[in-house]
Amino acid sequence: MSYNPRVHHRSSIRLKDYDYSTAGSYYITLCTADRHCILGSVKNAEIHLSEIGKIVGQDWRAIPSHYSNVSLDAFQVMPNHLHGIITINDRVSRDMTPSCPTMNKCERRFGQPISGSVSSIIGAYKSGVTIKSRNTGFSGKSIWQSRFYDHIIRSDFDLYMIQQYIELNPLIWEYDIDNPEAKSISFAEFEELLVKKFGITGQALYMVLDSKKMSRVRVI
């Protein structure tokens, strides 16, 4: 699911007192600064990455080489955002275990995320991508928004639905509200388009048409 300011307001993006270094899978969405489409373009439902977009993809795939306890699942670079699933398999070592009950409390005490947590992994990733992007001519402070959206994946069904949504992202970009040139479409027309043009049926169709996901489409 792409970032939606009406749903993922900055004050409530992260769960209070949840330890984000806990083993588990996390669905991550990163958006570019001001939603500028600097990562590529979508043509005929296929993503064509810019030089910065290629760096975004390459560095995302390289995350496990920097964190031995981290593995990746589905991910997709879009023109102005990235969707990806990160799995933290266990804590890196005992000395990285927080000395206080929850990560948020530790962050407040020391002013920085715990090593090996989702925050530290994504923070390092975002910084690395911005630094490398300067070799392409990018001169801004960061290519990213300051915050990111995360969702804790709690079941196999949840994982499957998110995997399907990530895979389908390029197909619905033409109608995605993150697309500055998005077309408006009625709910009925959108459903017909998914079934007849893209052959999307079953649970995948349900997932895209789910009311929460439909907030990403310009429905008239």
Determine, yes or no, domain membership for 76.
Answer: yes
Determine, yes or no, domain membership for 215.
Answer: no
Determine, yes or no, domain membership for 95.
Answer: yes
| Confidence (pLDDT) at 12 | 37
Q: How far is CA 219 from the centre of its chain?
A: 23
Of the listed ranges 9-13, 36-40, 43-47, 124-128, the least confidently predicted one is 9-13
Number of domains in the chain: 1
Determine, yes or no, domain membership for 210.
Answer: no
Question: What is the pTM (predicted TM-score) of this model?
Answer: 0.78
SS (H, E, C) 38-98: CCEEEECCEEEECHHHHHHHHHHHCHHHHCCCEEEEEEEECCCEEEEEEEECCCCCHHHCC
Containing structural domain, residue 43: 10-154
SS (H, E, C) 208-219: HHCHHHHCCECE
Determine, yes or no, domain membership for 133.
Answer: yes
- Res 85 pLDDT > 60: yes
- Res 177 pLDDT > 90: no
SS3 content of the chain, % helix, strand, coil (to 5): 45, 20, 40
Q: What is the pLDDT of residues 29-40, one digit of tens each?
A: 999 999 999 999
Q: What is the mean pLDDT of residues 155-174?
A: 89
Could you tell me if 218 and 175 are in contact, meaning their C-beta atoms sit under 8 angstroms apart?
yes
| Confidence (pLDDT) at 47 | 97
Determine, yes or no, domain membership for 109.
Answer: yes
Q: What is the mean pLDDT of residues 60-73?
A: 95
CATH number of 47's domain: 3.30.70.1290
